[in-house]
Amino acid sequence: MQPEFLIIHQQVATHVAHIQLNRPEALNALNLQLMSELKDALKALDADPQVRAVVLSGNEKAFAAGADITQMAGKSAIDMYNTDQFSTWDAIKKTKKPLIAAVSGFALGGGCELAMLCDMIVASETARFGQPEIKIGVMPGAGGTQRLTRAIGKARAMEMVLTGRFITAEEALAAGLINRVTPVALYLEEAVKLAKEVAVMSPLAVKMAKEAVLKAFDSSLEEGLHFERRNFYLLFASEDQKEGMQAFLEKRAPAFKGE
């Protein structure tokens, strides 16, 4: 079934797919249906061998202005518990292929959390990142206190979470939250360019390297190094390792197959 709130481009460049959040009338507020569609779309792209990297964007005005407040406003704690939005977010988090967020305009609350759940972020000059949940009487619920703090440090995260202040793309770049800032006309193109750079690498090595970098967030250094070593050895079981090293020795470009 066609998603209502997403536009999916299976191939915007070689081995690169693009998912656009498409609920512009509500600044791409992340309602339950949109998140469920996103989960399904990412699952399908993750399983598609033609796809090696995925760009996730909104539109120029908003990446996403947060979870849908109209859907949450009247809910009880038990309603929230029963809705179990976390299973959707957890499934998205399990995407093995690299996700690159292309952010323009608002990335707020759940929108900022969704961008941070991606592996890299390219932003337009108009991008504004924020965790304004405090202004509506709650607090971040999908990683905003954790991923933001790890990315930009306690002082800046605490200020954003406790005051709801937005930061600009330039501030986000200086703080280490994002990878690049571009003029508005170029942010999507730049994100696709970055995705293409990743998509020419061995897809197996990319997935295992992503997994190992993410391991740094929830393990001790010793455990993380052990995990890294395991994946490093494992890649020597791949044809791509043979191809990559042979291509280097033969002074030619490698042709990776993901095997």
Contacts of 234 (CB under 8 A, 6+ apart): 208
Q: Which of 133, 172, 191, 209 is catalytic?
A: 133
Question: Contact 33/85 with Cβ under 8 angstroms?
Answer: no
Query: Would residue 247 show up in a list of annotated catalytic residues for this protein?
Result: no
Query: Would residue 109 show up in a list of annotated catalytic residues for this protein?
Result: no
Query: Would residue 144 show up in a list of annotated catalytic residues for this protein?
Result: no
Q: Which is nearer to ligand DAK, 136 or 213 (CB)?
A: 136
What are the tokens at 138?
Answer: 């709650």
Place of tokens 């193109």: 189
The rounded distance, in Å, linking the Cα atoms of 174 and 38 is 30
DSSP string, 96-128: -S-EEEEE-SEEETHHHHHHHHSSEEEEETT-E
Q: Does residue 85 bind ligand DAK (CB under 6 A)?
A: yes
Query: Would residue 37 show up in a list of annotated catalytic residues for this protein?
Result: no
- From the list 68-76, 146-154, 179-187, 202-210, the region that binds ligand DAK by CB under 6 A is 68-76
DSSP lists the bridge partners of residue 182 as 124
Q: Which of 17, 67, 142, 175 is catalytic?
A: 67
Q: Does residue 32 bind ligand DAK (CB under 6 A)?
A: no
CB of 28 to ligand DAK, least distance (A): 8
What is the DSSP-derived secondary structure letter of residue 136? G
Q: Which is nearer to ligand DAK, 27 or 205 (CB)?
A: 27
DSSP 3-state percent helix, strand, coil across the chain (nearest 5): 50, 15, 30
Q: Which is nearer to ligand DAK, 72 or 192 (CB)?
A: 72
Q: Which is nearer to ligand DAK, 27 or 102 (CB)?
A: 27
Q: Which of 58, 109, 110, 130 is catalytic?
A: 110
Bridge-based pairing state of the strands 6-13 and 120-124: unpaired
101 SS3 class: strand
The rounded distance, in Å, linking the Cα atoms of 140 and 18 is 27
Q: Which of 113, 115, 142, 175 is catalytic?
A: 113
Q: Does residue 110 bind ligand DAK (CB under 6 A)?
A: yes
CB of 9 to ligand DAK, least distance (A): 25
Residues forming contacts to ligand DAK in the complex (CB under 6 A) are: 26-27, 29, 65-70, 85-86, 89, 106, 108-110, 113, 132-133, 136, 141-142
